[in-house]
Chain A
Amino acid sequence: MTRKLITGNGAAAWGARLARAEYIPAFPITPQTEIIETLAQWIDEGQIDSRMTTLESEHSMITTAGAAATTGVRTFAATSSQGLLYGMEMIYTVAGWRAPFVLVNVSRALSAPVTLEPDHNDVLAARDSGFLQIHCATCQEVLDSVLLAYRLGEDEKVRLPVIVNLDGFYLSFTREPVEIPDDKKVDQFLPPYDPGETRFRAGDPISQGVIVLGGSQYSYFRYETHLASLNALEVFEEASKEFEELFGRSYRAVEEYRTEDAEVIFFMMGSFATKAKDAVDRLRSVGRKVGLLRPRLIRPFPIEAIISAVAGKKGIAVIDQNLSLGKGGILYTELASALYSMTDKPVLVSFIGGLGGRDITREEFYEMVAVTMKAIETGKAPPPRLLYSKEELMQMKGLQSIARVEQRKGRGKR
């Protein structure tokens, strides 16, 4: 075991390396590119015995990845944002092939307007595809989650591809000390991929992704795949226990931070949860009973673990770093439906924050606790709120007035 100061992208590449991913179909996109550059360099230097093929698009890349996994090799790919959406047809398709591989998504907000910084609308667009989703908050977790993802996806009870998500810039380009697990121990945790009957070989033909005639057959296969996804909850528990025994790091489906006696908890995913942890520590130091709940697994959604973690809590501030236009926060919707059958359920307050990489400040975390406390007192949750300051609005108005002047100048020229 060695310790290295590496970026989230570097950690993802290390995950693929330690998992002995044999095949890496690739296509560059910011902020993911460092992952494939790192792997390409290792291949060129002979440090790893993998093969990389650069495709002409993410649509092709995901097709290639699924086809290679279907043929029987351990496959790794990475993308971001527009790339994930460009490949979305195949995201759904390859999940139906039941061919496991790992796809790292480095979250980046979606166009339009175009930006490079992160939010979770890209990865949540794949929410209903059949891909499992593991969301990371630290560089260490990125590396470890890639290993867990292969164990999870390749399990015969699951057999599904897995997305490991990390936030662009905040994790992708942030260096943190990361323990690089011993490769022999990784081999013990993650034996070579056994494709079972899902592979192509002369003399033993199979047909993949074929047409079914009618809703009855279609329903059967879709629901079977849904049940396989649900099986991943139990498999994740088993795998993470074994991971902890081997490597000393614990990854539950839902991370609970100082929730024991908490009255108010933050509910959010991704790297911004580390900002919430800092706020929790500071609030705890002045005697406020607050905590954090961070789902690592988004698909399958660990409903039971969440229900048991929120039992007895009075209020939850749900922070969505995404926006379902015309509805609101996606995580809020997911949580509300998960808790609906609970008696004595906590009050849920919805906040939209961190869109396009916009920071969430310490003061905003404090304010969210205050708003949630008030909702607990009154028993009435306020409408969803966008985290956006007066200063930002002033700056925005300033930019708009410049834009108007520029537009008039442009008209004048014509």
Chain B
Amino acid sequence: MKEGGFKSIKDLPSTHMLGPGTPICAGCGALEGIKIFCDILGEKTVFVNAAGCMTLLTVYPFTPFKGSWIYTAMASAPAGAQGVRDALDLLIRNGRLRPDEDLKVVVLTGDGTAYGMGLSSTSAAIYRGLDFIYICYDNEGYGNTGYQFSAATPHAARTATSKGPEGYQRYKKDLFSIWAAHKPAYVATVAGAEPLDLARKIEQAKDLKGSKLFIAFSPCPTGWHFEPAKAIEVGKLAVKTGVWPLKEYMDGKIVHTKVPLSKGKRLPVEEYLKLQGRFAHLFSPTRNEKVLEKIQTGVDAYWEGVV
């Protein structure tokens, strides 16, 4: 982490770039993160969006963004970013756009896109060395269609398409590792509930040349079933219990930027799980010790592997 910039929460921008009054749900964890991205990236941006909850940010004739926006389609937002980036480069090269009129190209998609349909176009964009920022707001399911499971859904979560007694049976795909395997300029996991860590990472990455990718933990009150007022608490608990590791990849190295307390002192995962209706079947009518232990063991094993 480079020095300067954001030492405490008070250093975060006090004027906000993203306008209010959008149709996004109360307590949306994704929006918490996106606000900070907008504040730090500034207005010289073009957001390239894929189908998802955040498509509803820009509804004709309103936009909360100070910069530009283009909605592409679920599978191909990074390809849209490629076209915009290449065209801006050509316009600058040929003197039709002043360098100070240049824009940062920012792909904004949900996890349904990032972990699934859009993975091919993302892989190809990183492979081509596309100079762009990718924000995946990860609410761990197809939120905008009523919360069905996606490849980002955690084990045991109940969704509209995993309502069995033990919820979703598969395990969350490791997108961080998949992205990092492409050796891009930067990959990070972040959370809107940890704004200082998030702001530092954006600051760290924004002017790097190449692909800069973020997976933003995005608690979803309507899909995860918790009170909107608890969104920040859910986000903080995900970090404290070790469920959501905050880390970054750069120059071939992975660094954990906020390590939770060691095993034994660390809050148990159930402190995080029990706040959410999607995991309620693990606690009532009877505690499902087997599944709770499996989740705890998985988290413990992850942190044991972190040197």
Report if A and B associate in a common complex: yes
The interface of chain A, by Cβ under 8 A from chain B, is 22-23, 25, 51, 53, 55-57, 59-61, 63-73, 75, 89-90, 93, 97, 200-203, 205-213, 217
**A69: chain B residues within 8 A (beta carbon):** 83, 87
Asked if A63 and B68 sit within 8 Å, CB to CB, the answer is no
B201 shortest CB reach to chain A, Å: 24
A71, B91: Cα distance in complex, Å: 9
**A61: chain B residues within 8 A (beta carbon):** 79
A70 shortest CB reach to chain B, Å: 6
A217, B62: Cα distance in complex, Å: 13
B87 shortest CB reach to chain A, Å: 3
A26 shortest CB reach to chain B, Å: 12
Best-buried of A66, A201, A207 by chain B (most CB within 10 Å): A207
Q: Name B111-134 residues within 8 Å CB distance of A.
A: 120-121, 123-124, 128
A65, B72: Cα distance in complex, Å: 12
Asked if B91 and A205 sit within 8 Å, CB to CB, the answer is no
**B83: chain A residues within 8 A (beta carbon):** 23, 25, 63-71, 75
Best-buried of B68, B77, B101, B121 by chain A (most CB within 10 Å): B68
A65, B78: Cα distance in complex, Å: 12
The interface of chain B, by Cβ under 8 A from chain A, is 43-44, 46, 48, 55-56, 58-60, 63, 65-73, 75-84, 86-91, 94, 96-97, 100-103, 120-121, 123-124, 128
Asked if B76 and A22 sit within 8 Å, CB to CB, the answer is no
Instruction: Select which of B48, B66, B69, B103 is within 8 A of A210 by beta carbon.
Output: B69
Instruction: Select which of A22, A66, A90, A205 is within 8 A of B68 by beta carbon.
Output: A205
A203, B121: Cα distance in complex, Å: 29
Instruction: Select which of A25, A51, A207, A212 is within 8 A of B70 by beta carbon.
Output: A207
Asked if A23 and B86 sit within 8 Å, CB to CB, the answer is yes
A102, B302: Cα distance in complex, Å: 51
* Known contacts A67-B48, A67-B70, A207-B70; is-contact A60 B90 (Cβ 8 Å): no
A113, B53: Cα distance in complex, Å: 39
A124, B146: Cα distance in complex, Å: 36
A158, B224: Cα distance in complex, Å: 47
Asked if A59 and B69 sit within 8 Å, CB to CB, the answer is no
Instruction: Select which of B60, B69, B76, B102 is within 8 A of A202 by beta carbon.
Output: B102
A56, B79: Cα distance in complex, Å: 9
* Known contacts A51-B90, A67-B72, A89-B73; is-contact A201 B97 (Cβ 8 Å): yes
